[in-house]
Amino acid sequence: MADLVTRYREIFGGEGTVRVVRGPGRVNLIGEHTDYNGGFVMPMALEAAVRLALVPHRGPTVALWSEQFAERAEFTLGAPEPANAPHWLRYPMKVAEVLAEAGVRLAGFKAVVQGDVPVGSGLSSSAAYEVASSLAFLLAAKPDTPAGPAQEVAAPHGLTTGKLALLCQSAEHRVGVRCGIMDQFISLHGRKGHAIVLDCRDLSFQAAPLPSDRATVVVIDSAVRRKLTSGAYNERRSQCEEGAGQMRKFDPGIKELRDVSLDLFKAHEASLSQVVRRRCRHVITEDARVLESAEALKAGDVERFGRLMNASHDSLRDDYEVSGPELDLLVTIARGVPGVLGSRLTGAGFGGCTVTLARPDAVEALRAAVRARYTKETGLEPRLWVSEAADGAAVEV
């Protein structure tokens, strides 16, 4: 953190007290593509995060330096998007837009943006950036806000962290990705040592303890980058909406796929096109897997949880068709290592990362197996790391 403050001084000079905000990335342990269908997910916040080191000022200009892109850009609050604005600038611009519409009286600031959540990895770098940006705007509006967790930063503005998550989700929609609520919600509500079981319809949640002495979460970056705005993500969301609409003919109470029971689906799946049928089958069975996983963790049954992770990947590969050869290879390698309990792709797919649950004494064997085989077969260099479940977003300084 001290290095980030120093970096701010190098870029913008020495005036003002530098504040630091943090928005963590996330890994979803199980429950993929269920969030925008009103269903259930089980993410955990990561230690990897996006941070902004900022100094507020009275003017309407927001000036940002991106460490990742080695680029400076700025915009004026309330003004049209500047010509030739880099894509990374659109996220804080849209966050500012939705906060202003929610009644927050915005003020400008200068900031250095730094993150170690890999972009395009499926670990939700965009949500981490949006959440960190939202805290920066709230802090700039009330510069005397002390350091503390997100709920303490949001409260003086009449906001809850649930509302803030929804605003950040809306910002991402305006950027062009019709994401569900999970990513922004877990970035704001993460709890150290726990996953969160979230009902994406009413935003109720409960913490699920992760027994780190018996199971370790290992994230492996396939080094295959993805861009969700390319259309495949939005296409699948539309297919789910089509399926829910078809099922509504048989039960008018159905609002989203979350409301479709497996029995109802099986009774009427022939009415769906083959593609829509597969998409719906994944979502309906995935919701059931999340709820069963919550029971497994509550009972301390990590073996059962691992089997459900495996079933989740197979469904994402075959029914939802969002995996790929590199992700499948990482999963195959992991499942072949003694002591690995389960492995699946995480995030929206189309590249990105896998998440593996392994016995603590199996982690090094897993690392060795990936190094020995993955690069040889793909020509890509994977990144593997172990992460504890982290706390959610906060003003750190």
Q: Select which of 35, 183, 259, 287 is catalytic.
A: 183
Q: Are strands 216-221 and 353-358 parallel, antiparallel or unpaired?
A: antiparallel
Distance between CA atoms of residues 141 and 135, nearest Å: 10
Q: In this structure, are strands 194-199 and 340-346 parallel, antiparallel, or unpaired?
A: unpaired
Element spanning 33, H or E: none
Q: CA gyration radius for the chain? A: 21
- Mapping DSSP to helix (H, G, I), strand (E, B) and coil, where does residue 107 land? coil
What the block records as the tokens of 268 is: 């009427």
Tokens 């009449």 correspond to 158
H or E element that contains 32: none
CB 242 within 8 A of CB 234: no
Q: How far, in Å, CA of 351 to CA of 339, rounded?
A: 25
**Known catalytic residue at 287:** no
Contact 388, 259 (CB under 8 A): no
Instruction: Round to whole Å and give the CA distance between 153 and 306.
Output: 37
Tokens of 279: 């998409």
Specify the amino acid at residue 332.
T
First-to-final CA distance of the chain = 9
Sheet with strand 383-386: strands edge to edge: 340-346, 353-358, 216-221, 383-386
> Among all residues, which ones are annotated catalytic?
183
